[in-house]
Amino acid sequence: MTQTRTATTFPPPVMEARRWLEGVEFTPDRPLINVSQAAPVDPPPPALRQAMADAALTKDDAHLYGPVLGMPALRTALSAQINTHYGADTRAENICITSGCNQAFAAALSTLCAEGDEVILPTPWYFNHKMWLDMTGVASIPLPVGAGLLPDVDAAAALITPKTRAIALVTPNNPAGVEYPSDLVLAFYELARAHGIALIVDETYRDFDSRSGAPHPLFQQDGWEDTFIHLYSFSKAYRLTGHRVGALVASPARLAEAEKFLDTVAICPGQIGQYAALWGVENLSQWVASERDEILARRAAIETGFPVLQAKGWELLGLGAYFAYVAHPFEMSSADLAPLLVREAGILCLPGTMFWPEGAPEGKAQLRIAFANLDAAGIDTLYKRLSALAI
């Protein structure tokens, strides 16, 4: 029997993890700590919600099909924001608005790959990237990370074959949180350019990078659009996860190809979400800066409080943006430990096995903690519950 496209990959990890909650009761004195998903749990700020309501009530086009590549005003605004942040010289023609960043990745790959091609993914990888490649018949070539959970350029070069079409990086990284150094990202760009393949850089969490200024110089390279494909999400910065607004930044020629995919899949991004993103770009820079400060404070709390777990044999492998990536001290696989944590500690997190190829030993010893929705007190409670585990 022929295997279907969806049967080639695994179930959605976050949905699978939520099923672990079935039949488990959480009491007021020990409520669930949900650190499984990297998404804001609060709605957008009131002023943005008012702008969305105004758009719904007063803008007729908010309820109609729009341009496949997105609202011209939003494309122009994001181009200007990128130019300021990266010292770039993009134009609106380089910008495509998508229904979330996952769709931006899918659209980019549709312009690059055919059945049987290959894409290099550092491991631990972002599972939705792996899932999309599986379902399109493209091989995911794992690139195990090295010291500091950083991928190695020479190791990547050794994996390139005539079938390689792209290297895909995520920085700040999901799941590891690690911020890739500027010179490392540039080295990957130069490797990709030398081999005539694409470098895809997913920067969903760039608004929470601890570094000031441009995190890399790729937009400043001559002919950048021949090699570099930038992915972005408005969801985290403006709390618009439910409205699915992302972006793909590339050459106009590539976007013309992506338009074929996007028109077939969604026709256009949601209009109200685009109005929200545009209002956010134009009005919320200071608010986003304060959100970044709070995330960085929580990141600091993760780091300063970690010795209580370190004393129990835990190891902090990676930290940044929304994520702490840790090694646990137990003999059991994280695939078994994570469901057990729900029942024994009231903690929902994802096992490292969800971010590695099946059977990889590294993932069995690792967990991802999405800490962005925990304040300092919540982080302290998380650590107390983990340190009290007796398994």
- Average pLDDT value for residue range 313-325: 95
Size (the chain), residues: 391
CA atoms of 391 and 384, how far apart (whole Å): 15
Task: Choose the final residue of a domain: 284, 318, 344.
Answer: 284
Residues 17 and 88 reside in one and the same domain: no
Mean pLDDT of the chain: 95
Helices 127-135 + 101-110 axis angle, to 10:
40
Residues 114 and 206 reside in one and the same domain: yes
Task: Choose the final residue of a domain: 254, 284, 314.
Answer: 284
Does residue 56 lie in a domain region?
no
CATH code for position 274: 3.40.640.10
Q: What's residue 37's pLDDT?
A: 86
Q: Are strands 33-34 and 95-98 parallel, antiparallel or unpaired?
A: unpaired
Residues 104 and 170 reside in one and the same domain: yes
As for how many domains the chain has, the answer is: 2
Residue 130 pLDDT grade (very low, low, confident, very high; cuts 50, 70, 90): very high
pLDDT at 103 over 90: yes
Does residue 212 lie in a domain region?
yes
Dihedral sign computed on CA atoms, order 249, 255, 261, 263: positive
CA atoms of 197 and 226, how far apart (whole Å): 9
Does residue 48 lie in a domain region?
no
- Average pLDDT value for residue range 81-87: 96
Residue 1 pLDDT grade (very low, low, confident, very high; cuts 50, 70, 90): low
Does residue 1 lie in a domain region?
no
Residues 27 and 153 reside in one and the same domain: no
Does residue 49 lie in a domain region?
no
Q: What's residue 333's pLDDT?
A: 97
pLDDT at 300 over 90: yes
The amino acid at 271:
Q
- Average pLDDT value for residue range 126-133: 96
Residues 222 and 80 reside in one and the same domain: yes
Residue 272 pLDDT grade (very low, low, confident, very high; cuts 50, 70, 90): very high
The arrangement of strands across the sheet holding 323-327 comes to: 315-320, 323-327, 366-370, 350-351
Q: What's residue 71's pLDDT?
A: 97
Does residue 157 lie in a domain region?
yes
**Listed range (22-26, 182-186, 247-251) with the worst mean pLDDT:** 22-26
The parent domain of residue 299 ranges over 6-43+287-387
Residues 242 and 303 reside in one and the same domain: no
CATH code for position 334: 3.90.1150.10
Does residue 54 lie in a domain region?
no
Residues 278 and 143 reside in one and the same domain: yes
Residues 140 and 265 reside in one and the same domain: yes
Angle at 63 between CA 59 and CA 64, to 5 degrees: 110
Residues 133 and 81 reside in one and the same domain: yes
Residues 203 and 306 reside in one and the same domain: no
Does residue 51 lie in a domain region?
no
Q: What's residue 40's pLDDT?
A: 80
- Average pLDDT value for residue range 108-130: 97
Higher pLDDT, 59 or 390: 59
Task: Choose the final residue of a domain: 258, 284, 310.
Answer: 284
Residue 2 pLDDT grade (very low, low, confident, very high; cuts 50, 70, 90): confident
pLDDT at 45 over 90: yes
Residues 124 and 265 reside in one and the same domain: yes
Residues 142 and 231 reside in one and the same domain: yes
Residue 41 pLDDT grade (very low, low, confident, very high; cuts 50, 70, 90): confident
